[in-house]
Structure 1
């Protein structure tokens, strides 16, 4: 594989990590599609099975890490939303009790 394509593949992985860091979730599917297209182009032209296997292993490891990070971020967001909802419900209950006690 020429060095330029390999750099492009890993630049896309870096872009996906940056999007995750900046919470730009909507960019992820487009970046994933670009990565897959570029990989398929590379796979069609690579003549060395050893080189292909090495690149696949590197991409698999990088992508597995990315998926793990994405799942962690999703869980963190879910916890924040649940906490926010509980705080809003508590605030609403406090407001209702306050309103009822003012009318009494």
Structure 2
């Protein structure tokens, strides 16, 4: 898991050699705090095949605008800087896992 901000987002996310799951969240957001442990667990299990990057929506308006974030948590799955899919709102762990794994390139589960 890595934290990113407006200044280093390109280097951390767009230049990643593996798919990136961006979690746009805020410390005051209850659903964000609820989903965070499941995201961290999933990222740990998929280490080497998926990078989890957390971005505080309040402190990073450029990233929030880039993805049109209007509600948090917003999860954005990217590959080589291109959006693969977006999930708005918190999901239970098993649904998060299914969503992410179904969108990863073949063989990277």
| TM-score between the two structures when normalised by the length of structure 1 | 0.25
**Structure with more relative contact order (C-alpha pairs < 8 Å, separation 6 or more):** 2
Q: Please tell me whether Structure 1 or Structure 2 has the larger radius of gyration of its CA atoms.
A: 1
